[in-house]
Amino acid sequence: MTHNNNTDQLAQAIYSINRHAKVATKPQHLYSIKKAALDKLLQENKATKIGLHFSKNPKNSNQHSTLLIKVSNYYFHLPPERNDFKELNHLGELDENYRNPQTRMSLSQAKKIIYKYINWQTPHTKKKKETPSYYTPSSLGQMEWPPTKKFNK
């Protein structure tokens, strides 16, 4: 696989993950692997920081900026770092007319590509079986019956 094809495939995988994260009920993991992949692409000079945009969805009615990153023919947004405000131009409002190229890639395929690229390992933590706070374990079967101990008076 050539350098450009590999970068194109990574961009498509990030696009698919980002699209799924926007509608997921718990998108934290998807956004974290998106950020890890984009950070690695930036380190390897396979992605370019373009500039800053005003966010389309301001938090608590406070306008904030997002970092625009180009990978192949795709554009992505990440939260900016402090030095990005000093080094990059602010591009103003997000252009709603521009869209990334449509890609058909399943989430599982996209995750496989990104996991391999960022060398992600599944955490091996044992989950403790959760019991509700009102749960009282049963003592049935733990008592002797009939009682064998005699109490002296």
Lowest mean pLDDT among 4-18, 63-77, 103-117, 132-146: 132-146
Q: What is the pLDDT of residues 123-142, one digit of tens each?
A: 666 666 676 667 666 666 66
pTM: 0.71
Q: What is the pLDDT of residues 84-129, one digit of tens each?
A: 888 887 887 877 767 788 888 999 999 999 999 998 877 666 666 6
Q: What phi and psi, each to the nearest 5 degrees, are found at residue 54?
A: -70, 140
Q: Is the pLDDT of residue 51 over 80?
A: yes
